[in-house]
Structure 1
Amino acid sequence: MRIVGETAFVLHARPWRETSLLLEVLSQEHGRIGLVARGVQSPRRHVLRAALQPLQHIRLHAVAKGELAQLTSAEALDAAPRLDGEAMLAAFYLHELILRLLPRGDACPELYRAYADTRQRLASDTALGWTLRRFERDLLDVIGMGLAWDHDGDGEPIDPAARYQLDPEHGARRLLSDRGQGQRSQAATGAGLLALAGDRQPSAADVASLRLPMRGVLAHHLGPRGLKSWEMLGQLGRLKPVATGPGQ
């Protein structure tokens, strides 16, 4: 099968043999595609090699042969955003999520659009935590593992003043008021869940409340092997200086 003029985002690239690359891309019409790009490491093909770096938006031509397609040509459609620090780590995290949870060959134009929007937000001043939670929500919905963000697992409307644990199979479970503070601190606020349902940014505290419950849902679907980006985030947290006073 020939893939002609397909637009895609490069998720991952690694050297293969002496002059080639193995690529993973998220395409508009064919979903995730594995590609072999032969000979792109040679000095004369530096323009093509630059177009095949992660985060780059490209138009490609390829011939599908089994599990991997043979890339025949590609061109950059824009300049990839210049990310550093936490934004770059966030991009690595999103790419890793897609590679682990989205099978190759599943057409998902809605995820392609969600990724395009997220890529733009990573390069802007949009709150990073909210950007990540929105993409996690969209990815879970695309792979058929999303939750009813505005109702709990029993069909009751989410109470913005309550807190909820996220059960990957059942849905949101309201946390009883007599539960310990530690358990409540790791539960999502109802206001945060309703913000996900309505796609409107909540307060910073409500965004923060979504992080651990969403990670639990993702970890369930990822299985026993976690994400390298989670390990990197843990290491980064241990390297940060301890706060010594107000505002630190």
Structure 2
Amino acid sequence: MHLIAEPAYVLHTRPWRETSLLVEVLSEQHGRVGLVARGVQGPKRQVLRAALQPFQHIRVDALLRGELARLTAAEALDAAPRLDGDAALAGFYVNELLLRLVPRHDPFPELYALYGRTRARLPGEGLAWTLRRFERDLLEALGSGFDWSVDADGTPIDPAARYRLDPEQGPRRLLSDRGHGERSAAATGRALLALACDLAPESSDLPGLRQALRAVLTHHLGPRGLKSWEMMAELSRVRSRPGREPDAAQD
């Protein structure tokens, strides 16, 4: 199968052998595709290497045989966003989730559009909310999303209650006598309703929403977590040391 002038976003690139690269892209019509880019490490291939960096929007020609496709041409369609600090880590997280959860060669045009929206939002403000929206829409595109306005029993969400997210059935209301640990890892009903309406929740509701969604993602990822989660945890520990300012935008 030939990919001709196929729009795609670069998710990951790593060296392969002496002069080549293995590149993972999220394409518009063919989903996630692994590419072998041969002979791109020489000084005359700098433009091509630049087009194959993560977050870059490109147009590719490739020949697909088996699991990997042989790249024959690639050109950048725009300038990739400049991501620094927390935004760079958030971008790494977005790419890692896609690499782990999206199977190769399954068409997901909605994921291609979602990545474009998320990529545009990463350099801006409200980073935590950007990631929660991405997680919500990723689950929906993969067929694992929920109706965020009702609980698993079909009862309308109570904004004053707290809910854990059952990975298979959706929000489950917590009883008032639950322990502090379980409640702190639950989302407020107010946050779930905000998610349903695509409205940014109160800043105090974002940590619980993050923990609740992480439980769902962990279920789908299996026993092996994400490297980006480890990096976020280490960064949080560094920032919590005496004399350091806490991170205001938990991802």
Q: Specify if TM > 0.5.
A: yes
Residues of 1 paired with 2:88 and 2:237: CA distance? Answer: 19
Q: 1:155 to 1:50 in 2, by over 3 A?
A: same
Match of 1:173, SS state, is: strand
Deviation of residue 243 (structure 1)? 5.3
Residues of 1 paired with 2:44 and 2:73: CA distance? Answer: 14
Residues of 2 paired with 1:81 and 1:72: CA distance? Answer: 25
1:240 aligns with 2:239: yes
State the match for 2:131 in structure 1: 132
Residues of 2 paired with 1:244 and 1:62: CA distance? Answer: 52
Deviation of residue 178 (structure 1)? 2.3
Residues of 2 paired with 1:37 and 1:48: CA distance? Answer: 9
Residues of 1 paired with 2:210 and 2:83: CA distance? Answer: 22
Deviation of residue 113 (structure 1)? 0.9
Match of 2:81, SS state, is: coil
The one-letter code of the counterpart of 2:75 is E
Q: Is the 8 A contact 2:162 2:189 kept in 1?
A: yes
Residues of 1 paired with 2:40 and 2:92: CA distance? Answer: 23
Match of 1:183, SS state, is: helix
TM-score scaled by length of structure 1: 0.95
State the match for 2:3 in structure 1: 3
Q: 1:201 to 1:241 in 2, by over 3 A?
A: closer
Alignment of 1:72-221 (within 5 A): 72-125=72-125, 127-221=126-220
Deviation of residue 245 (structure 1)? 10
Match of 1:64, SS state, is: strand
The one-letter code of the counterpart of 1:134 is R
Q: Is the 8 A contact 2:239 2:245 kept in 1?
A: no
Residues of 1 paired with 2:39 and 2:110: CA distance? Answer: 33
State the match for 1:22 in structure 2: 22
Q: Is the 8 A contact 2:32 2:106 kept in 1?
A: yes
How many residue pairs get aligned? The number is: 247
Match of 1:145, SS state, is: coil
TM-score scaled by length of structure 2: 0.94
Deviation of residue 241 (structure 1)? 4.2
Percent of aligned positions that are identical? 64
Task: Name the Cα RMSD after superposition.
Answer: 1.6
Residues of 2 paired with 1:247 and 1:25: CA distance? Answer: 35
Match of 1:208, SS state, is: helix
1:59 aligns with 2:59: yes
Which piece of structure 1 moves more, 197-206 or 33-42?
197-206
Residues of 1 paired with 2:20 and 2:113: CA distance? Answer: 29
Residues of 1 paired with 2:144 and 2:66: CA distance? Answer: 28
Match of 1:97, SS state, is: helix
Structure 1 gaps of 5+ residues are: none
Q: Is the 8 A contact 2:240 2:246 kept in 1?
A: no
Q: 1:189 to 1:72 in 2, by over 3 A?
A: same
Q: Deviations over 1:210-248 (max 9, x none)?
A: 011111100011000111111111111222243569999
Match of 1:219, SS state, is: helix
Q: 1:246 to 1:40 in 2, by over 3 A?
A: closer
Structure 2 gaps of 5+ residues are: none
Deviation of residue 183 (structure 1)? 2.2
